Structure formats: structure tokens, C-alpha cells
Amino acid sequence: MRSMRTVGLLVVVILLASVGTRRVFAQSAAQSFTLQPGGSAVVSFEAFCAEFGEVFPSGVQLPNGVAPDAARAAMAYGVSKGYNANAQQALQLQYAIWQALGATSSPRGDTIAQDVLTNGTTAPAAPQGVSVLDAVRANQITLTLDSWQPIGPKVEITNTATDHFYGRGQLTITNTTQQALTLYMPIGTVFPSVDATQQTMAGYATNVQVNNPQPQQLPATGGDESIFAGLLLGIVLLVGGLGVRRRWSASVRAG
């Protein structure tokens, strides 16, 4: 009786632990995440142009630094206000970033751009952990650029120029050490263009999907359906053990 209840409880605990370590999601412009040894993360990011007057990049390279604090402050404030939510507002945020970087020829923009310039003056504080830029320099992680493309159609940047101004992509980060690493992608992370005549981009993370190795692998039995079947079995064993104990106790009292 006791062994039946114990087996059932162990089955439930082990399977719940297996389900819980399968995937972790984090969403923030600069939120830290932890990779176990051999663990990886897919980081989705968006990036704005950092050089007024240059052509939007046909492709970008792996990140190699951070933008000046003035651009990082404007970007962090604009994203916190949701000004990156649609192309019209994002263009105003772009104007503010260019002006924060000293581009006097950039259009002044509307009230959104002026709000960012007036209030987006404090560079964002670093979250807990190590910057992915520092970690890759220390050979603690590897970076792979998975994708890059502009967001939406070209728009009128000035009265005489039409182009893309922001884009999105994905990075894969892998922990190559034998210890857990807590990491973050800084707001204003710089992505150089593959073509030196085109724009440098400055970006921020929009989503992080972490995939860490499971601490305890169960025998392969067919995926999620088998896990939930195992949970059901564990619960049946647990409840069955309790029922047997009650009947045994009742029979002893009756005797």
C-alpha cells in the first residue's frame, strides 16, 4: 500500500519536473536569461538605423558593440512607451534616435519624436548578468545570425528619400562553458552592415526563447502524450494506494 503511493508520487514529481524544464520564455527589451552548459537561446530582435543618410543594409553581421548612450536612451524610452508598435510611430522614434546622435539634417518629426528627445535622456541600466558581447569575447558563448529583414515596405524618410529604416532578425546563442551563464542583450546593440557603404543598425531584444538540457531524461516513449499518460498513471497509483489504505484501516477497525 505504502509502496504503491510512493511510486505514484514519484512518477508525478518526475514527470512534472520534465515538463517544467522543457522550455522557458522571456520577453523584454533587455531582460536577462540563464543558459545551462550546452543550453541555447533564440533571441529575436529589432533594430533602427544609426547613420542618417546611409542606405538601409541588405544584410547585417554579428553584433560587435553598443551605440552611444544618447541613442540607447532614446531607444529605451521610445520602446518603453510603445512607439515601436507601428511603422508611423516607429519612424518618429527613428527621427529622435538620429537627432540624439547629432544628425542635424534629420527631420524633426512630430510630438512623438519630440517626446523621446525631451524625456529619453537616461541610458538604460544593465540587468543582472553578463552582456552577450562580453561573453562572446570571453569565448563563453557562440553567436549565430539566423535571419535579418526589413520591417514593412519602404517609407518616405525625408522629402527626397524613400527607404526602410528598421528591421528584425534572430540570433542563436549557445553556452559553450561547463557552468551556467546569466546573459542579456544590451539595448542599442550594434549590428554592422555586410556592406561598409550601408547603414549600421542598433537593436534590442524583443523575445528570448531558452532551451536548456533537461536535467533528467526519461526513456523515449512518444512525446507529450506519453508524459501526460505517465502523469495519469502516477495519479491513479497515488489515489489507488490511498484507497487501499482506507479499506485496510476500515477492515482492521471492524475486526
Parse the chain into domains and list their residue ranges.
1-22+227-250, 23-211
Q: Quick one: average pLDDT of 150-157?
A: 95
Query: Over the stretch 37-54, which tens digit does the pLDDT of each residue have?
Result: 999 999 999 999 999 999
205, pLDDT greater than 80:
yes
With beta carbons less than 8 A apart as the criterion, state whether 182 and 33 touch: yes
Q: What is each CA distance from 216 to 7, 151, 225, 245, in whole angstroms? A: 17, 41, 18, 31
- Residue 252, pLDDT above cutoff 90: no
Among the ranges given (155-169, 205-219, 222-236), the one the predictor scored with the smallest mean pLDDT = 222-236
Backbone CA torsion sign across 211, 82, 155, 152: positive
Given phi > 0 = left and psi -120 to 50 = alpha, else beta, which region is 59? beta
Question: Sorting pLDDT into bands at 50, 70 and 90, what band is 159?
Answer: confident
Task: From residue 218, give the alpha-carbon distance in Å to each of 18, 154, 196, 209, 230.
Answer: 8, 51, 50, 23, 11
What backbone phi and psi angles, to 5 degrees, belong to 143? -120, 140
Per-residue model confidence (pLDDT) at position 102 = 97
Task: Please state, in angstroms and rounded to a whole number, the distance separating the CA atoms of residues 7 and 163.
Answer: 64
Q: Provide mean pLDDT across the span 49-77.
A: 97
The predicted pLDDT at position 145 comes to 98
Would you state the pLDDT for residue 17?
45
Q: Which pTM does this prediction carry?
A: 0.75
Pairing of strands 141-150, 33-35: unpaired
pLDDT given for residue 61 in this prediction? 98
What DSSP element (H or E) covers 205?
A: strand 201-211
Q: 218 pLDDT band (50/70/90 cuts)?
A: low
Identify the band that residue 214 occupies on the pLDDT scale cut at 50, 70 and 90. confident
* Rounded mean pLDDT, 237-255: 51
Amino acid identity at 244: V
Locus of grid cell 555586410:
194
**pLDDT at position 94 over 60:** yes
Percent of the chain at pLDDT > 90 equals 71
Residue 193 has pLDDT above 60, yes or no: yes
As a whole number of angstroms, the distance between CA 178 and CA 205 comes to 25
Residue holding cell 518618429?
Answer: 92
Per-residue pLDDT for 101 more than 90? Answer: yes
How far apart CA 112 and CA 96 sit, in angstroms, is 8
- The whole-chain average pLDDT of the chain stands at 84
Determine the pLDDT at residue 15. 40
